[in-house]
Copies of this chain bind each other. A is one copy, B any other.
Amino acid sequence: MNVTVLGIGLMGLPMGRRLREAGFAVTAWNRTQEKALRLASHGARVAHTAAQAVRDADVVITMLENGDVVDSVLFGQGVAAVLKPGTLVIDMSSIRPAQARQHAARLGELGVPHLDAPVSGGTVGAEEGTLAIMVGGDSSAFERALPLFKALGRATHVGPHGAGQLAKLANQMIVGITIGAVSEALLLCARGGADVGKVREAIRGGFAESRVLELHGQRMVDGDFIKRAALTVQLKDLRNALSTAAELDFEAPVTALFEQLYASAAEHGFAELDHSALFKELARRNGM
């Protein structure tokens, strides 16, 4: 099976490598070609243009920065025009659900099936092949993509076109809000004279346990807010969730509050930090 990967960045590179290791013929393209060339040593063919890269593809994977870039690569750089009917396009970028549905509709008119399949797990998950892959689209396309997904992580078919992107937004909402819950709770304890590291330790293993309490909670205790996942990306995700909620006439009071809190954090000097630096914003508001 010929697989073309468009976008060989922090995620696309290890994903392409894993596909090669699983035995797929891989063609790579990236806007700045040097990045794509890193896949050549793993046996991938490197194309000069996106349109050339997809010419013989059975499956095209896009792993790009945002929805507008996906839009531009698919429809602005001639990719859609040269795809054979029946070529499967899997967009693994994180984009707005509405835009994913538009891409599926436009490609559908050309006889090209589409899946939205954003991931969670970061570069470590991509390298280890343990990504959580949230997939929206038709069952037949999902089944067809399964051998590829198996090389990359654990895929779950969560509904029709756009549902994968909705699940990704849900993931980001939960992470962003849980960071706020742990921040506010630990800061209240600090204000009252408790040992915050000991409090975190005491409540782990109970109903308050989460990956956020484990990982981001430790960063709060250590005062270590070096960027792993950017606070500005968290803010963008919450804004995408709110615009999606507005399109669906859905009131989301918790997400609305957190959009304000993360925006305030970005305005007050924490934009370049990890999203767990919401802790610093809540501390700042309390003169701590």
What's the Cα separation between A252 and B157 when bound, in Å?
Answer: 38
How would residues 176 to 217 of chain A score, 1 for a CB under 8 Å from any chain B CB and 0 otherwise? Answer: 011011101111110111110011011111111111110100
| A200-259 interface (Cβ within 8 A of B) | 201-213, 215, 241, 244-245, 248, 250-255, 257
Q: Is A170 an interface residue (CB 8 A)?
A: yes
Asked whether any CB of chain B lies closer than 8 Å to the CB of A154, the reply is yes
A contact set with B: CB distance below 8 Å: 97, 120-121, 132-136, 154, 156-160, 162-163, 166-167, 169-171, 173-175, 177-178, 180-182, 184-189, 191-195, 198-199, 201-213, 215, 241, 244-245, 248, 250-255, 257, 261, 282, 285-286
Query: Which partner residue on chain B sits nearest A195 by CB separation?
Result: B159
A241 and B188 within 8 A (CB): yes
Cβ–Cβ contact A202 & B134, under 8 A: yes
Closest B residue to A210 using CB positions: B210
A191 x B253 contact (CB < 8 A)? no
Across the interface, do B188 and A250 meet the contact criterion of CB distance under 8 Å?
Answer: yes
Whether the pair A208, B175 counts as a contact (CB closer than 8 A) is: yes
Nearest-CB distance from A278 to chain B (Å)? 10
Chain A to chain B contacts (Cβ below 8 Å), 28 pairs: A156-B199, A156-B202, A157-B198, A158-B195, A159-B189, A162-B192, A163-B192, A166-B192, A167-B199, A167-B203, A170-B188, A171-B203, A171-B207, A171-B208, A177-B177, A177-B181, A177-B184, A178-B181, A180-B254, A181-B181, A184-B255, A188-B245, A207-B215, A210-B212, A210-B213, A253-B257, A253-B261, A254-B261
- Do the beta carbons of B185 and A173 come within 8 Å of each other? yes
In the complex, are the beta carbons of A174 and B189 less than 8 A apart?
no
Chain B residues with Cβ under 8 A from A120's Cβ? 203, 206-208
Cα separation A208 to B211 with both chains bound (whole Å): 7
Known: A170-B185, A180-B177, A181-B173. A193 touches B160 (CB 8 A): yes
